[in-house]
Amino acid sequence: MTPLAQVTELLSQLVACPSVNPKSAAKFSPPLGEAGMVALLEKLLRSWGASIQIHEVHPNRPNLLATFPGKNPGRSILLDAHTDTVAVDGMIIAPFTPTVRDGRLYGRGACDTKGPMAAMLLALRRILDEAGQPPVTIYFAATCNEESGGTGAAALAKQNLRVDFALAAEPTDLKIVHMHKGALRVDIKTSGVAAHSSTPDRGVNAIYKMCRVVARLEREVAPALAKQKHPQLGSPTLSVGLINGGSQVNIVPEICSIQVDRRVIPGENQDEIVRQLAGDEHYEITEFYTALDEPADSPASKHVAAACRRVLGQAEFVVAPYATNAGIYHAAGIPALVLGPGSLAQAHTKDEFIELNEVVRGVDLFAEIIRSL
């Protein structure tokens, strides 16, 4: 079977297995969650000789960790690919019926991040076929809930794996993402006193209180953030994405809430960020991704760059405004980078796709990264 045929076959299997993140959908039902993908991967990787650990991070939402012992057990690498996808609402293609057209494979997750996952897996398969045993111990992690908090990677990081470095599979156009912003998502609530709307003076309007919070975020906090500068990543940002308050029009609302997305640059303190956003109001942190700041001259970066030059003819380091599992591993003391075939422009779209030939190049690249360790 040709490399292109191998990529098409495996990626089709992955896309055909629904793994929509339940937090992005209205109701948990059989097409949702990561359990089906973990079952598929467990069967595949056991047949390749891996030892498997499965850890349920959330109900019916497990991580999978496959271990391939290396000839040099003193060195190891973590290959991470998340199993969840975003929702399928509004898609104009059949999300779980992989379709190949004009050299592209279409379907939900084809780009983010089952295409990069397929490249990692087939690179591992190639190394096993070439040598029977990888040169170093390889951990392949299929992590859950990357799209809504990265809790799968956070749970894996707590297992204290000792690895030389980690690669997080994402569509980066095969460029090396060595820095990216983090993300903190927080719910802020204001409380009032309910009353009949004909006598509003007897109540305290929680929506009015929230208006003052939002105005402060827009007029004071956002401009202050714009003055903070990271030399590569620019300024931290915030966005109020959701607001909810009141029960019906003729009742003075006693509760109002907003959800804020705050993008984080390296070096920022989580507690200070929350105080800046919420002030004296009640809050709850719902998601937190750590920023990534892996030096371009670190041993991990140099190794991956050298492999890129051998396979691709060039190595390009880039920074990103989004967050990934790599930041979580980096915060746990593991050097980490983000790399994979596919373009962010096709991720999460209504007709998501990936160029199959780029996935083939991704197989070549990941195989060289492993082979040359």
Mean pLDDT along residues 242-251: 96
Q: Are residues 192 and 285 in the same domain?
A: yes
The CATH number for 226's domain is 3.30.70.360
Q: Are residues 38 and 118 in the same domain?
A: yes
Q: Are residues 112 and 221 in the same domain?
A: no
Domain boundary among 273, 289, 305: 289
pLDDT digits (tens, 9 = 90+) for 177-211: 999 999 999 999 999 999 999 999 999 999 999 99
Q: Are residues 255 and 352 in the same domain?
A: no
Q: Are residues 53 and 162 in the same domain?
A: yes
Structural domain span for residue 75: 3-181+291-371
Q: Return the pLDDT at 30.
A: 57
Burial class (CB in 10 A: 0-12, 13-18, 19+), 196: exposed
The verdict on whether omega for the bond into residue 113 sits within 30 degrees of 0, i.e. cis, is yes
pLDDT surpasses 70 at 326: yes
Burial class (CB in 10 A: 0-12, 13-18, 19+), 179: buried
pLDDT digits (tens, 9 = 90+) for 272-302: 999 999 999 999 999 999 999 999 999 999 9
Collapsed DSSP state (helix, strand, coil) of residue 287: strand
- Euclidean distance between CA atoms 324 and 327, whole angstroms: 6
Q: Are residues 140 and 209 in the same domain?
A: no
Domain boundary among 260, 289, 318: 289
Q: Are residues 218 and 347 in the same domain?
A: no
Q: How many domains are contained in the chain? A: 2
Query: Running DSSP on this structure, what letter comes out for residue 310?
Result: H
pLDDT digits (tens, 9 = 90+) for 76-89: 999 999 999 999 98
Closest CA to 190 of 214, 206, 203, 205: 206
Domain boundary among 246, 270, 289: 289
